[in-house]
Amino acid sequence: MDDQASTPDRAPADGPTPDDTRPLASDRPADLPPPPATQTAATPAPPPPPRTGTTLMEPPPPSAPGTAPAEPAPRPGTVAAMTAAGVGLLGAAIVISTIRTRMDGDLDWSNYTVGLGATAVLVLVAVVAAMLVRRRDNALGREELVTWPGTVGILGVALMFSVGLEDQDWLEDVFGYVVGGIIAGLAIVGYLAARRAAFVVLALFGIGIVYANAFEDLFGDVGDENDVAIVAAIALAVFVVGATVLGWLLPTRATSGAAVAAVGVVGFGLIMAGMLLAQMFSSMFSSFGLMDMGPGEESDPFAAPESPDLDFDNDVWVILGLALLLTVMWALAAARTGHSGFTISAIAMPSVVVPLATFVLAVEHPTWWGVAVAAVGAVLLAGGGMLGRLRARSARSAY
């Protein structure tokens, strides 16, 4: 009783002390309920971390099975370097053979055999690469081995044919057609094997040879000797337009069109330079009294200078008109394809032709020509800048 009196009514919050004795379950009276089970408070989950300015990106979805990551575009590498060097040396052998074989008039078989052998090696390499090397194994290496040995080999075939058969009278009338046809036909076969722009340019070159011979046969008698420049300019302009349109049908339209445009610029520059040289020589000879001498007549060093008979005014204006049309065509092609070759040609044509025209026309006030072309160029350049600014504003407003 004294012990029960000393026991407090409520246990401390921390539970029984070590000196307290807990009665066994067997000592508990049977009519008393069992003690309640000890309840353990659940530990609350930690609060989520506060949101910061950095947003975690979700991981990308897994790639589809069998899909490999994108690899950089392959390069021909050493194959291209060795091919270029080898083709260049074989091409040198062909050129040496072409120059030396007929130097003495007769056919030098030693030099001619060297050219035939170099040509055969180039053609054989191109054919073997086209037939035995598969595209999926080494596509770029195959194209290099087919394209450059093939193009130079085709030119070698044409040169060897020309050198070997140039003294045959039965080929005299159709010689140009045969050579151009050989180049164009073999280039078309090469394009079907490699689909490279070099074969397209070579085919257009062969077609140009055929076209030049046909134009000479059909229109060679048109006009007199003073109309040679204007006839040549018209023929060249027709070829440039036709070759550009023909090449536009192929995926290599930009490269072939730019190559033809370069031919047009050089051709028009040569025509203008030819007219200028003709005037200079005419004036020089007339100043010494050498012009219009009849049979048996002698030159008089004390005669008064005669005015030259060559007048290219109409030719110059026609050529300037054709050059303008070609420049516009190349500018539109540059806008369509973005190829810098068209842009360079559109810049080079007026830069070459117009200054030469001022010399051929012997203008008294070239300053006005400079002012006129500069003013037109400034207006076009300012219009292009304003158009670009308007397009930039419309693009920003779309967003």
Residue range 270-322, pLDDT digits in tens: 999 999 998 888 777 666 555 555 555 554 544 434 444 567 888 999 999 99
d(CA 80, CA 142): 10
**Between 195 and 16, residue with greater pLDDT:** 195
Could you report the per-residue pLDDT of 232-274, keeping only the tens digit for each?
999 999 999 999 999 898 888 888 999 999 999 999 999 999 9
Calpha distance 143→76 (Å, rounded)? 9
The identity of residue 328, as a single letter, is V
Please spell the DSSP secondary structure of 255-312, one letter per residue.
HHHHHHHHHHHHHHHHHHHHHHHHHHHHHHHHHTT-TT--TT----TTSPPPPP----
> Based on C-alpha coordinates, what's the Rg of the chain?
44
Q: Is the pLDDT of residue 4 over 80?
A: no
- 26 band by pLDDT with thresholds 50, 70 and 90: very low
Instruction: Convert the pLDDT of each residue in 340-386 to its tens digit.
Output: 999 999 999 999 999 999 999 888 888 999 999 999 999 998 988 88
Tens-place pLDDT, residues 190-235: 999 888 899 999 999 999 999 999 998 888 777 666 778 899 999 9
Exposure pattern of 123-145 as b/e (b: 16+ CB <10 Å)?
A: bebbbebbeeeeeeebeebbbbb
CA-based nearest residue to 178, from 186, 119, 222, 388: 186
Using 50, 70 and 90 to split pLDDT, how confident is the model at 189?
very high
Q: Which stretch of DSSP H or E encloses residue 42?
A: none
Q: Which tokens go with 93?
A: 């052998």
Can you read off the two tokens belonging to residue 175? Answer: 């010689």
Evaluate if residue 140 carries a pLDDT over 80.
no
Q: What residues contact residue 309 under an 8 Å CB cut-off, 6+ apart?
A: 282, 291, 292
Q: Report residue 3's pLDDT band, with 50, 70 and 90 as the boundaries.
A: very low
| The pLDDT of residue 7 | 45
- Which of 98, 166, 156 minimizes the C-alpha distance to 123? 156
Residue pointed to by tokens 């009783």: 1
Please give the Cα distance from 228 to 317 (Å, whole number): 14
Task: Kindly tell me the burial class for residue 67, based on how many C-beta atoms sit within 10 Å of its own C-beta (0-12, 13-18, 19 or more).
Answer: exposed
HEC per residue, 94-119: HHHHHHHHCCCCCCCHHHHHHHHHHH
List the single range of 8-17, 112-121, 177-186, 217-226 with lowest mean pLDDT.
Answer: 8-17
Given CA atoms 75, 76, 81, 87 in this order, what sign does their dihedral have? negative
State the pLDDT at residue 252.
87
Residue 94 pLDDT greater than 50, yes or no: yes
| Neighbour count for residue 381 (Cβ, 10 Å) | 10
> Among 48-57, 251-260, 387-396, where is mean pLDDT lowest?
48-57
Given a contact cutoff of 8 angstroms between Cβ atoms, the answer to whether 253 and 270 are in contact is no
Please give the angle made by the CA atoms of 307, 368 and 358, to the nearest 5 degrees.
40
| Phi-psi map region of 34: left, alpha, beta (phi>0 left; psi -120 to 50 alpha) | beta
Angle at 96 between CA 93 and CA 99, to 5 degrees: 150
Secondary structure (3-state) at 48: coil
